[in-house]
Amino acid sequence: MPSALPDPLRSEWFSLPSISEQLPYVHGALIAGLILGVLGGLIGPLIQARDLAFAVHGTSEMSFAGGAAALLFFGQGVAATGTIVATGSIVGSVLAAVLFGVLGQRARDRNSAIGVILPFGLGLGVLFLALYPGRSSNKFGLLIGQIVSVSDNQLWLLSGVAVVVIAGLAVMARPLLFASVDPDVAAARGVPVRGLTLVFMLLLGLTVAMTVQVVGALLVLALLITPTAAAARITASPLWVTVWSVIFAVVSAVGGIILSLTPGLPTSPFITSLAFAIYLVCRVIGAIRVRRGWSKRGAGSLTPVAVAAGSAQPSH
């Protein structure tokens, strides 16, 4: 009697010979996963400090709408569909991120704006995909990602965006962290809080647009939020939170791609499962350390306020 299970569930899930045979064909995807892991790990602590998890979700939905619009209006009969979708995603996410930054400085105002725009963007995206007459795989990829099929053009676009985002974060990370944890004091010390917010939201929009290409609009939080949440469970140092966040995000992205090769399933479930598993392990480690007397504010640890304020002192 034939098995009722689909082929991926009847085959070996983790076959090292099969994975090694396929690795040369997905080197571009692995590079993309590495780059996006680094981006997500670097920007994640600032997202957490500014309480922007909901904004990330809202931006991803507008990125989805932008990609779907680009696919419908410019992607029919075009070979470089991936680059067109990525460009549309960037436009949609950047517009959304800047709009969120302009409409709401405070969390209450910002969340209200996101709550209004998020379903609108999702509805537009669904409409555009319904009208698109092309392959269903292009539609599906916007929702759950399709990094295994990343093209050279997409990889170059991703690399360029990564350079811009990392350079921007390097220039303004310390004053931005200060403005994130205590905007009133930062403004009193001459930090351009509103300007930093708009620039950061622009960088966030670029990062979200690229991350959507990996895990899709529905699961983007797995690379931008979960690694930082895990890192915050095992250390209180802003520097080490960032370092561990990068490590966890890279392991989740690259490991998820590799693990998805043998069963031939989408990468996003493996990426999100790895990220969640890392978070659970870190949560257990953190709980054990707290029971043994470890304090997140213990001696020797620098709080974000102290670190940022030190760099924001006016010069004389």
What range defines the domain where residue 93 resides?
A: 21-311
Q: What total number of domains does the chain contain?
A: 1
Asked if the structure places residue 296 within a domain, the reply is yes
What are the CA-CA distances from residue 131 to residues 18, 128, 140 (Å)? 38, 5, 14
Asked if the structure places residue 5 within a domain, the reply is no
Asked if the structure places residue 189 within a domain, the reply is yes
Asked if the structure places residue 213 within a domain, the reply is yes
Asked if the structure places residue 8 within a domain, the reply is no
Asked if the structure places residue 252 within a domain, the reply is yes
| CATH number of the domain that residue 192 is part of | 1.10.3470.10
Asked if the structure places residue 1 within a domain, the reply is no
| Tens-binned pLDDT, residue by residue, of the chain (316 aa) | 444 444 544 445 555 555 566 665 677 788 888 998 999 899 998 888 888 888 888 888 888 888 888 888 876 655 456 677 778 888 888 888 778 777 655 666 677 777 888 888 888 888 888 888 766 555 566 666 666 666 777 788 888 989 999 999 998 888 888 887 777 787 888 888 888 888 888 898 888 888 877 677 767 888 889 999 999 999 888 889 999 999 999 999 888 888 877 766 777 788 889 999 999 999 999 888 888 876 554 433 444 444 444 444 444 4
Asked if the structure places residue 239 within a domain, the reply is yes
